[in-house]
Structures are given as structure tokens and as C-alpha cells.
Structure 1
Amino acid sequence: MRYQDIYPSDPLLRGRDILRPRAADLLNLEYFEAEPAAMPKGRFEQHHLLLNYRETPHRVENWRDGRHRDFTYHPDEIVLTPAGIESGWHWHARSKVIVITLDPHRLGTFAEKELGILLAEKQLADVPQRRDAALCASAWQMKIALEERPLGFEIVYESLCRVFLVQLLDRYGEKRAVGADFSNGFTATQYGRVLNYVADNFGSTITVEQLARAAGLSPAHFSRLFKATVGETPHRFVMDYRLEQARKMLDDPSRALIDVALACGFADQAHLTRSFKQASGMTPREYRKR
């Protein structure tokens, strides 16, 4: 079930209705000013974060995995519910709230590929109520960008999304325990060095030997530990990174496909097309048209 499926009213603002799909990949922002109402309990496949902007406190009830909370919701307070937790709501005054939903898979990919962070299975902390004025201010900036749409607003919004996600993961991200997941000598520092090497060299040939050298391990030992820790082979990791950079370059319609292919380390345009279609179900041309 998606969190949006049970809203009792339509949002006044919805980011995905305005932006290209690429900008909505990281998060989905919706703004509500809704009369008192209720949402039935459900177990959702997304993380959802509620940020309160009502100027005066108001009464709210929240059910979380069978626990009932009847509390006063204050300005600049947030409620963060990780995916998989059953949640239901009843608010007793007109709301003024931003709801942000996040896809766990995309959030995990962003954390790994962009920040060098490996998140635990739950990814985010369960936060029934907490004041976080800084995070609320960041979300409000995203709302303003969507409403006012200044010159280059999609670029501005994308940047604000990234700032927001960094703040969110820094405060509430649950990272994998080093002792449990970076075992047998593979550390978070080594993972960071491998990620930096791929980011600096994805347009050239990258071998397992080069990645192992960056991590300070033998190739065989590195391949085994990397697969056990990250969940994919070094080769698949590099390919996924190249495809992600290719998607970004394809957003520029003036850039030739052969140029994108070579810049991202593919042997030729046909190699890019085969790999891209295998991963996404569409060719680079089809992706660009969409």
C-alpha cells in the first residue's frame, strides 16, 4: 500500500505533478491544509515524514504498530515513520503540513552512491514526535521552490532535495553496524575509498584489481568481502554507477548518445543501449523521450 492511497483530501501542492520524473526519484513532497479528518491504519511500503507548520499547537492521534498516541503537535515538530510500520491518524484541527514520502530502494541507492553510507535494513529511525526546526525549514524551502518556480527551478529543487536528504540521513539514518557488516577486515573507510575511485574513473576501464588496490586488499579477498557487504559484485556496482551517470547525462537533449556512452565508460553506443535496456527496460532514446 502507498501512503498516498488513503489521503482523505487532495494535496494543495504535489511535486511529482510539476517536475520531471528524475527530480521526484529522491523524494516526493506534498503540501496539505486539510480540515479535521482521519486516515485509516495501514502498513506502507514507503517511509513517510510529516512536518508541522501550523502556527498554534493542535491535538493529533496516531496509531503506530498497535500503540495509540494522543498528543499535542507543536510547530516545527516532525513525525517520521519507517516503511513497514502500521500507522493511522486522526487530527482534530485544520492541518498545515508537508508530507514527504521516500522509496526505500532509491533512498538506499542515494545513500550508497552519493554519500558513501550503507544503511541498515530499516534505514530510518522510528520518530513518533520530535522538534526539528532545521529540517522543517529545509522542507519549506523545497515547497517555496515548487510554488514560485524561479529560473532553473528544477535544478534548484534538485539541490534542495539533496540538502534535505543529507540532513535527514545525518539525523535519523540508521547505518549498518560496523562490527556486523564490515567484518573480516572490510571497513567503511575502505568502502569510501572504493566509491571515490569509481566516481573519479567511471569513464575509463576499471578492473577488480584496481578497486582492490584502492581498498588495500587482494583481488580475491576484496571481491568476496565487497559482495558480502554491499550485496552486489564489484563489476555490478561499477555498471550501476555508470548507468546512473548516463541517466544524468541523458537529461541534456543536446548531448549525443555516443558521447554519453564513451563518457560513462561504455565501449560504444550499442554497449550503452544494451546495458541501459537490461537495467531499466527501455533504451536510452526511449528514456530521453519520456
Structure 2
Amino acid sequence: MPRRYAEIYPSLPLLNSDASEHVSAAALMSLRYFQAAPDSMPEDVFAEHHVLLNLQTEPHRVQNRRDGEMHDFIFRKDDIIVTPAGMRSGWRWFATSDVIVVTLDPERVAQFAQREMGLLLDPQQFRDLPLFTDPDLCTAGVMLRDALETGDVTSGVMFEAMSRVFLVKLLQRYGQERPEPVRRSTGFTSAHYRRVLAYIRARLDQTISVEALATEAGMSPSHFSRLFKETLGSTPMQYVMAYRIEQAMEMMTDPALSLGEIALACGFADQAHFSRSFKQVTGETPRRYRRTQTA
């Protein structure tokens, strides 16, 4: 069974977002900051994507074995290595490290890409991404790290905001979309998805039907429904409901908005309909969820 990277680190991090009481457990990512003496990590297969950002100003030798192939190289400042979930990987470094390690849950990354960026990511995400240099992405990582150092309630807010910035930069530059089908008529493409998502966003407070979504994608309702479920793992209406609930969750962070206002803005008939649907999807009422978020 794939493990988490944190289970085999040879030393304790100087900073760890998982240990911060002010960073939400539902954060998009985890961050750890290390300055570790020369050491190694055994080969293993992990359940998360692993983004290693090098801050060390002095070039130094690093070995990284990936799926049985050894890579022996000089690691320079602002170099980045991404190890995708499911790839067997091991490390050895020959000088004191100064690195930020960002771990990403593949499912959350895919959901973020879909809902926030209109991207359908290739399931083989990051597998062919070699060592690369990106000072801007490293700077975004440093801002993530620095958000943790304050240790107060503002650190959680900043970390959440900067995690979105970091992930958008990573996916915009290096995210791989699902390949287009050989015959366009046989597949649900990223272009189809972006049109459907834009339609849902623009009409969130209205009734949305499968027929309307299918028309937006240029397909018959039955063909659209089948391809949509094959691609995204849920029916179109299940997706719309989940999207309404997600948007309601975001709106509930604004204390000025009543649950009734949120219900109507997200396309529910009334607050009672919203409460029933919310509990069905999340297992708790909107009122209880809101209390836990503001406690």
C-alpha cells in the first residue's frame, strides 16, 4: 500500500504545515521545510505527488532513483524535482540540504484543476517532468513557508491563499491535460469540460438540466451523460450538486451572508432544500458546518 512521504523522512522538519493549528486540515497541500545533514531516503512508492524546491545557494550533488533508473546530478538553487504519486523513488544528498517539500493529494489536485481552472488532468500527471529550474515557483514556495512562520491565526489564512497561488502556477506551467481522443466525436475533451463548467458557473442560481449541459457540449443528452460519467466519475447532475455545495461552503465563510441568501445564490429552492441537500452530501447541516469553520 502506498505510504506518505512524511513516514520515512530521515530528520524532523523545521516547519510543518500539518503541525500548525491554524492551517485547515482541508488545505490543498502540505509543506515541510528542511535543513538536513547529508543523508538518504530509501526507495518506496508513495500516495502523494512530491514537489521538492531547492533553496540551497551552493550547488551540490544529489542522487535520485526513479522507477529503477538512477539520476546523478548537481542540484542548483531554484531547481525543482516533481515525483508523481505511484512512482518508486529514493534519494541521497551529499551536502546539507535547504529544501521545501510540498506534498499534494492527487485527487484534490485533480478537483482543484477541474473546478478552479477548467482543466481535465492526465491521470499520468507529472510522470515525464524532469528536473527543471523555476525561480518564480520557488519564490511562491518560500511565501508558503513564510506564512507558517508567523504561527498566529493569520498564518492559516495566508497559507490557504498562497497554496492556491502555488498550485495555479504549477498546473498552468507543468500540468498535463488529458490527451485528446483520436476521434473527437468519441471523447469528452477539456474544451467540452470548460464550456460546461462556464455554463454552470454563469447559471449557478438557476435550474440546470442535463439537456442544457449536453447542448453546451454539442452532444445528445444520452451521449453526453455517458461520456461525462466515464471522464469525471459522476453523473452531470451529481457534479452540479457537488459544485453547488462547494460554492456554498466558500460563501459560508462570509458571516454577512445568511444561509437563506446562500441557498438562493447557489440554486436551491429555499433554505430547507439547501439544508437537506447539504446534509446528504456532507453528512452535517449547513449551520453545524458553519459553526465548525468559525470556531
Q: Normalised by the size of structure 1, how large is the TM-score?
A: 0.89
Letter in 2 for 1:10: L
CA distance in 2 between partners of 1:26 and 1:181 (Å): 35
Match of 1:105 in 2: 107
Q: 1:274 maps to which residue? A: 276
Separation in structure 2 between the aligned mates of residue 240 and residue 181 of structure 1, nearest angstrom: 30
Number of the residue aligned with 2:24? 21
2:124 to 122, 126, 138: 122
Determine helix, strand or coil for the equivalent of 2:245.
Answer: helix
| Structure 1 segment 28-177 matched on structure 2, within 5 A | 28-148=30-150, 154-177=156-179
SS in 2 for 1:41: strand
1:221 aligns with 2:213: no
Question: Once the two structures are aligned, what percentage of the paired residues are identical?
Answer: 50
Letter in 2 for 1:238: V
Which of 205, 208, 220 does residue 206 from structure 1 map onto? 208
Q: Once structures 1 and 2 are overlaid, which stretch shifts more, 111-120 or 56-65? A: 56-65
Q: Number of residue pairs matched?
A: 289
The Cα shift of 1:128 comes to 4.5
Matched residue type, 1:13:
L
**Equivalent position of 2:199 in the other structure:** 197
Q: Give 1:122 deviation, angstroms.
A: 1.9
Contact kept, 8 Å, 1:181 with 1:229, in 2: the verdict is no
Greater displacement, 74-83 / 128-137: 128-137
Distance 1:115 1:179 in 2: 21
The one-letter code matched in structure 2 to 1:48 is H
**RMSD over aligned Cα, in angstroms?**
2.5
Query: Where in structure 1 are there 5+ consecutive unaligned residues?
Result: none
> In structure 2, how many angstroms separate the alpha carbons of the residues matched to 1:161 and 1:136?
12
Q: For 2:188 and 2:96, how far apart are their aligned partners in 1?
A: 51
Residue 174 of structure 1 aligns to a residue whose secondary structure is: coil
Shift in CA distance, 131/185, structure 1 to aligned 2, threshold 3 Å = closer
Moved more, 230-239 or 102-111: 230-239
Partner in structure 2 of residue 265 of structure 1? 267
| 1:131 to partner: Cα distance | 1.6
SS, match of residue 127 in structure 1:
coil
Q: Is the 8 A contact 1:124 1:169 kept in 2?
A: no
Of 238-247 and 207-216, deviating more is 207-216
Q: Following the alignment from structure 2 to structure 1, what is the Cα–Cα distance between the partners of residues 22 and 182?
A: 40
Task: Indicate how the Cα distance of structure 1 residues 20 and 277 shifts in structure 2: closer, same or farther if over 3 A, else same.
Answer: farther
Using the TM superposition, name which of 165-174 and 89-98 deviates more.
165-174
Q: Which has the higher strand share?
A: 1
* One-letter identity of the residue aligned with 1:29: L
Matched AA of 2:141: A
Change (3 A) 1:283 1:123: farther
Shift of 1:275: 2.9
Deviation at 1:108, TM superposition (A): 0.4
> Structure 1 163/268 Cα, relative in aligned 2: closer, same or farther at 3 Å?
same
Question: How far 1:111 moved relative to its partner?
Answer: 0.6
- Secondary structure of residue in 2 paired with 1:49: strand
- 2:23–2:160 Cα contact (<8 Å) kept: no
Are 1:46 and 1:102, in contact at CA under 8 Å, matched by a contact in 2? yes
Rate the CA distance shift 1:248–1:217 in 2: closer, same or farther, 3 A.
same
Structure 1 residues 19 and 227 mapped into 2: Cα distance closer, same or farther (>3 Å)? same
In 2, the alpha carbon distance for the partners of 1:81 and 1:281 equals: 34
Tell me if the contact between 2:39 and 2:93 (Cα under 8 Å) persists in the aligned partners. Answer: yes
Shift of 1:171: 2.5
- The counterpart of 2:252, out of the listed 250, 253, 265, is 250
Mean Cα displacement is larger for which, 269-278 or 8-17? 269-278
**2:57–2:77 CA contact under 8 A, matched in 1:** yes
Question: Is the contact between residue 22 and residue 155 of structure 2 (CA under 8 Å) also seen in structure 1?
Answer: no
**Following the alignment from structure 2 to structure 1, what is the Cα–Cα distance between the partners of residues 183 and 107?**
19
Alpha-carbon separation, structure 2, partners of 1:105 and 1:182:
26
